Chains A and B, each alone.
Chain A
Amino acid sequence: MKEILEKLQIKEVNRGACAGPDDWYEDPEAEEVVSHNPATGEPIAKVLQATEKTYDQVLRTTVESFKSWRMMPAPKRGLVVMDLGQALRELKEPLGDLVTLEMGKIKAEGHGEVQEMIDICDFAVGLSRQLYGLTMHSERPGHRMYEQWHPLGAIGVITAFNFPVAVWSWNAAIAAVCGDTVVWKPSSDTPLTAVAVQHIANRVMADHGLRGIFNITIGRGAVVGERMINDSNLPLVSFTGSTQMGRRVSEAVARRFGRTILELGGNNAIIVTEDADLDMAVRTILFGAVGTAGQRCTTTRRIIMHTSIATELTDRIVKAYKQVTIGNPLEEGVLMGPLVTKGAVEDMMAALEKVEEQGGEIICGGARLPDYGDQFVEPTIVKMPAQTEIVHIETFAPILYLLEYEDIDEAIRLHNEVPQGLSSAIFTTNLLTAEKFLSHEGSDCGIANVNIGTSGAEIGGAFGGEKETGGGRESGSDAWKAYMRRQTNTINWSRELPLAQGIKFGD
């Protein structure tokens, strides 16, 4: 552990507010937060949390730096992000290990998360030469119309524990090439990965003689989070978290006419049809439901399976679950680590009580695993007689609900019945069924897949969902537009002054 921390410049006590190289701030009244290894309960290191005072110090630099950063040509900004990607490549292994150590996801997933950071940096570098605007034909003679995209400002990024570094990079890399500066509030459950990323970003900023482009304020939601969402210096707040918190963020930012990107809860399902390849389906379900111990936004939480294959599929999923190796996520071969906090374990156990009250039958798992540690649980499969109230709720834990259907319309109705709309999938070999699922009357989610699962998105597509998932889009495709302001320009190169719509005024 010591070696990992040293490589990433993590000390025993770390400051939690920073606006660039040599710009770490400390308030004598700062509260300490201790980061624990969720697998062992042992403390890893401490962070002095940002206060309102240090938030203000960081924000001043973030806002001031925007004035010069926005004037640097976008392809030059891309070179800075290219170096960020390179620095992440060099530190992929220790940073991935730290993700595992602090958050509890298995090593392959921790390293995969850092790879996602690298990938989005590569994407952003290319994007820095492609921030295209349209040109339009003017209805007025001797006129030219076009639109251009300007940098937006200093933006706030609030992320959750489950992807402690990747979600920052989805926002920060794109925002940076768009000419924005970024202030980040990570989860208080994963402060050390954030400190490590800030050190990496500082190194890159120092190499380019920059400060205030990538900034951090690690602090309580009730202090730093509330300040950010109510801060009119931030024209955009990108928030990843729950629907309930997203509603609060959305209302506060809208009150000051700011913009939000909301990445909120999911309740993702896979429909498995009677003609599906069950070998592929079982492997996918296992990865989607058990990976990251069921703590991804895109975790597979519901299986909607045709009655004709329900018994076989259920038996095969249960068999696969029984082969899952649970343990310390840093160890090779382990497929499932702990939940992030003791509170998360309590939440899961209380949800399983509700499951039984509502007629659900736990057919696999359902128990704590105290021999492994306080935060370990069994991955759990529940057979539900109907899609009851508890199934409509996203419990952030490895609980998989099994439901059956008779015809595809019923399957799609069940699929779309929940309030969330993030990710979805169908396993079928029938082209017509696949296309129906992807059609206007099919899945109502932001992500809809055929013969692959609900999780494990690539950075090239826009990531996000509908309904109570919030409607935001991050990462690839044209998600960059949310980080810029559009300006429509009309230029008159004639010596006349014609009005639009043929209006004559005082001629």
Chain B
Amino acid sequence: MSAQITLDTQIEDLVKNYPEAVGFLTRHGIRCIRCGEPLWCSLGELLDQDGVDDPHQLVTELNDFLKRK
């Protein structure tokens, strides 16, 4: 599947359509599944809440990671 994640992507969609993204983000200290359920927010909101310095760069890396999968 060609990855096209953006900061506006909802976490519910991310978890459903790109489950590998969960592990990638957890390794970067970003947890988008809690108690087994996806959070109700966009990826951008989550990265902002977690104080990620360069969210655009992380999303680029995430898309690259998913393309390699």
Q: How far is the CB of B69 from chain A (nearest CB, A)?
A: 11
Given A346-B20, A347-B23, A347-B31: A340 and B12 interface contact (C-beta under 8 Å): no
| A160 and B35 contact, CB distance less than 8 A | yes
Q: Does A91 belong to the interface (CB within 8 Å)?
A: no
Q: Give the most central of B22, B23, B24, B40: most A CB within 10 Å.
A: B40
Q: Which residues of B contact A353 (CB under 8 A)?
A: 27
| A243 and B34 contact, CB distance less than 8 A | yes
Residues of chain B whose beta carbon lies under 8 Å from any beta carbon of chain A? 10, 12, 15-16, 19-24, 26-27, 31-41
Q: How far is the CA of A66 from the CA of B36 in the complex (A)?
A: 33
Q: How far is the CA of A340 from the CA of B22 in the complex (A)?
A: 14
Given A341-B15, A346-B19: A241 and B27 interface contact (C-beta under 8 Å): no
Q: Which of B24, B37, B40 contacts A226 (CB 8 A)?
A: B40
Chain A to chain B: the 5 pairs with minimum beta-carbon distance, closest first = A242-B34, A221-B40, A346-B23, A350-B26, A342-B19
Interface size on A, residues (CB 8 A): 38
Q: How far is the CA of A214 from the CA of B52 in the complex (A)?
A: 42
| B12 and A221 contact, CB distance less than 8 A | yes
Given A341-B15, A346-B19, A347-B26: A221 and B38 interface contact (C-beta under 8 Å): yes
Identify 11 new A-B residue pairs, CB closer than 8 A, beyond the known A265-B35, A345-B19, A350-B27. A220-B40, A222-B12, A242-B34, A242-B37, A245-B40, A343-B19, A343-B22, A346-B26, A350-B22, A350-B26, A396-B34
| B40 and A248 contact, CB distance less than 8 A | yes
Q: How far is the CB of B68 from chain A (nearest CB, A)?
A: 15
Q: Can you report 21 residue pairs joining A to B where beta carbons are below 8 Å apart?
A: A222-B10, A222-B12, A222-B40, A242-B37, A244-B31, A244-B34, A245-B37, A245-B39, A248-B40, A248-B41, A295-B36, A297-B35, A343-B15, A343-B22, A344-B33, A346-B23, A347-B22, A349-B23, A350-B27, A394-B35, A396-B36
